[in-house]
Amino acid sequence: MHHLYMTNGTINPKLLRKKIIIYGCGNDGKKLFSQLKDLGVNIAYFCDSNDKLQGKKLYGVEILSREQLKNYQDYNLALAFHQYPQVLDKLPEKMEQNIFADYPYKHKGGRKCIICGQNDCTYDKAHFAPFLTERMFEGEEKETKLIHCLNCGLYYSDYRPTDQETGRLYDCYRDDRYVQQRKKYEPEYLNEEFSEENYCQERKESVIRFVGPYIDLKEIKTILDYGGDKGQYIPDEFSYSDKYVYDISGNQTVQGVTLLKNLDTAQRIKWDFILCMHLLEHLSEPLAAIENLVGLLDRNSYLYIELPMQDYMHQYSNVEINEHINFFRETTMNKIAEMFHLKILDIRTDDVGLIRVLYQKAKERVQK
Distance of alpha carbon 114 from alpha carbon 122, whole angstroms: 13
User: What CA–CA distance (Å, rounded) separates 283 from 341?
Assistant: 22
Q: CA–CA separation, 157 vs 326, rounded Å? A: 7
Degrees to nearest 5, angle at CA 224 with 213 and 212:
10
Q: How large a percentage of the chain has pLDDT more than 70?
A: 92
Which letter, b or e, does each residue of 305-333 get, where b requires 16 or more Cβ atoms within 10 Å of its Cβ?
A: bbbeeeeebebbbebebebbbbbbbbebb
Average model confidence (pLDDT) for the chain? 89
Q: Is the pLDDT of residue 337 over 90?
A: yes
The region of weakest confidence among 191-200, 281-290, 297-306 is 191-200
The pLDDT, as a whole number, for residue 90 is 75
Bridge pairing between strands 121-128 and 143-149: antiparallel
Ramachandran quadrant class, 172 (left: phi over 0; alpha: psi -120 to 50; beta: rest): left
Rounded to whole angstroms, how far apart are CA atoms 103 and 79? Answer: 10
Tell me the pLDDT tens digit for each residue of 56-96: 999 999 999 988 998 898 999 998 766 666 777 777 776 77
Q: How confident is the model at residue 9 (pLDDT cuts 50, 70, 90)?
A: confident
Question: Contacts by 258-266 with C-beta closer than 8 Å and gap 24+?
Answer: 259/231, 260/224, 263/292, 266/224, 266/296
Q: pLDDT tens digit string along 261-284?
A: 888 899 999 999 999 999 999 999
Residue 178 in contact with residue 131, Cβ under 8 Å?
Answer: no
At residue 306, does pLDDT exceed 80?
A: yes
User: CB–CB of 140/133 below 8 Å?
Assistant: yes
How many whole angstroms separate alpha carbon 338 and alpha carbon 335? 5
In this prediction, what percent of the chain has a pLDDT beyond 90? 60
Burial of 8 (0-12, 13-18, 19+ CB in 10 A): exposed
Residues 112-144 pLDDT 10s: 899 999 988 988 888 999 999 999 999 999 999
Measure the CA–CA gap between 324 and 312, rounded to whole angstroms.
Answer: 13
Any idea what the Cα angle at residue 211 is, between residues 207 and 217, rounded to 5°? 100
- Lowest-pLDDT choice from 3-7, 116-120, 298-302: 3-7
